[in-house]
Amino acid sequence: MTDIAQLVQTLGVAARAAARGLAAASGTQRNAALTAMARRLSDSQEALQRANALDLDEAARNGLSEAMIDRLRLTPARILDMVEGIRQVEALPDPVGEITELRPRPNGMMVGRMRMPLGVIGVIYESRPNVTADAAALCVKSGNAVILRGGSEAHHSNQAIAAALAEGLSEAGLSAGAVQTVPTTDRAAVGELLRADRYVDVIIPRGGKGLIQRIIDESRIPVIKHLDGLCHTYVDRYADLAMAQELVFNGKMQRTGVCNATETLLVHQAVAAEFLPPMMDRLIQAGCELRCCPRAFALAGGHPVTAAGPEDFDTEFLAPILAVRVVDGMDQALEHIDQHSSRHTETIVTTHHQRAMRFLREVDSSAVMVNASTRFNDGFQFGLGAEMGISTDKLHVRGPVGLEGLTALKYVVLGHGQLRS
């Protein structure tokens, strides 16, 4: 066994033991741990900034862009945000131990289901260091142990954050093994973690498409993932066109670099001539580039739009760019979505009840909306509290992954001697 394999095994053994303790702990104990984790983090400002300075120096030496360096930076305000985030997670309802649908069978035994932690969660991320605190808080709240592997550019910061959180766990009498980071930047450790199916129950990656794809290909452990966000807004022939203009503008332009931004606008041909010119005007004024199908292009009049290539309807722009297509009707809109959507978020703008219900039923995406901005597909917006990400998978959890997504239901049976005959 290599040193790295040995290292990951040690983490796994400790995490597995901690997970048992955490699953057996009461909600009060897990909340006390979160209180202590928040306090320790808040008290560690100096240590965090010292560690962060090491990462920032290295980033500068490695010539990282100013934007990337800014993402790395742990300012007092950002540390306070992490602390506040932990307190918000603590305040959420306890998901563990709930028993539902406990019903008698004809032989008198009661059969129901109990919500329980998944066990050990591996989080692999390349995002800002705050993910370390957010993910740890969600895992502890839901009774799971976590092994964190952040990006090497934030290594010292992540280690310092996790060390503060582990102190909080110990202070509250829970095992520090519940929150561990991989103590090396060696990339071989990621491979070992993805093979550690004896110790890790699920892998949750957060990062760019390259990272996610590599994890899918390599992992022997089930992965809860978010791959693409190619979201559609469909303006139906029965849309309130003023509302539609607001929803399209919000879906595309409220924030463009995010997974739930609208990337393609579909417009029913019966309203395209009335709807599109003012919509185009507003988007172009705001700096949005429009890539139009021939029918939309023909309606552009003097607006400076470009002709869409076929790839434009399969591209997650993450930028102020919108693909626009005029469709013959709702069937073609559904067909287009089925062919091109990444199954993240789609919305219909319509006043027609049956058409709204048909859209809800037939579109197969993690969130399907009527008369609401695609930008709402988000844990906070849906009322789940913080989230580990948004799943575009179908199994286990679709959409925002909150506390419930970190749990599973086991069957419980209460009998008084029932025998199978």
Chain residues that interact with a second copy, rule: CB under 8 A: 20, 23-24, 97, 103, 105, 109, 111, 114, 116, 118-119, 201-202, 216, 220, 222, 224, 240, 243, 246-247, 250, 254, 338, 347, 356, 360-362, 364-373, 375-377, 381-383, 393-396, 398-400, 408-421
CB-wise, 281 or 393, nearer to a second copy?
393
CB of 255 to a second copy, least distance (A): 8
Query: Which single residue is written with the structure tokens 């699953």?
Result: 23
CB-wise, 33 or 204, nearer to a second copy?
204
CB of 37 to a second copy, least distance (A): 23
CB of 414 to a second copy, least distance (A): 5
CB of 112 to a second copy, least distance (A): 10
CB-wise, 70 or 197, nearer to a second copy?
197
In one-letter notation, the amino acid at residue 251 is G
CB-wise, 160 or 369, nearer to a second copy?
369
Residues 379, 387: contact at Cβ < 8 Å?
yes
CB-wise, 72 or 118, nearer to a second copy?
118
- Give Cβ neighbours of residue 312 (< 8 Å, ≥ 6 apart): 291, 323
Q: How many CB atoms lie within 10 A of CB 105?
A: 11
CB-wise, 237 or 358, nearer to a second copy?
358
From the centroid of its chain, how far is CA 395? 15
CB of 233 to a second copy, least distance (A): 12
DSSP letters spanning 101-159: EEEE-TTS-EEEEEEEE-SEEEEEE-S-THHHHHHHHHHHHTT-EEEEE--GGGHHHHH
CB-wise, 273 or 412, nearer to a second copy?
412
What interhelical angle do 188-195 and 3-24 show, nearest 10? 50
Q: How many CB atoms lie within 10 A of CB 395?
A: 8
C-alpha angle 22-24-25 in degrees, rounded to nearest 5: 65
CB of 327 to a second copy, least distance (A): 17
Report which of 288, 352, 355, 368 is spatially closest to residue 324, judged by C-alpha positions. 288
Residues 325, 293: contact at Cβ < 8 Å?
yes
CB of 291 to a second copy, least distance (A): 23
CB of 384 to a second copy, least distance (A): 9
CB-wise, 96 or 190, nearer to a second copy?
96
CB of 333 to a second copy, least distance (A): 14
Query: Which single residue is written with the structure tokens 């995010």?
Result: 258
CB-wise, 186 or 364, nearer to a second copy?
364
- How far apart CA 257 and CA 320 sit, in angstroms, is 8
CB-wise, 246 or 314, nearer to a second copy?
246
C-alpha angle 318-321-327 in degrees, rounded to nearest 5: 115
Residues 34, 140: contact at Cβ < 8 Å?
yes
Query: Which single residue is written with the structure tokens 């989230």?
Result: 387
Structure tokens at 106: 């004809």
| Dihedral of the alpha carbons of 83, 180, 142, 382, in degrees to the nearest 10 | 50
CB of 309 to a second copy, least distance (A): 22
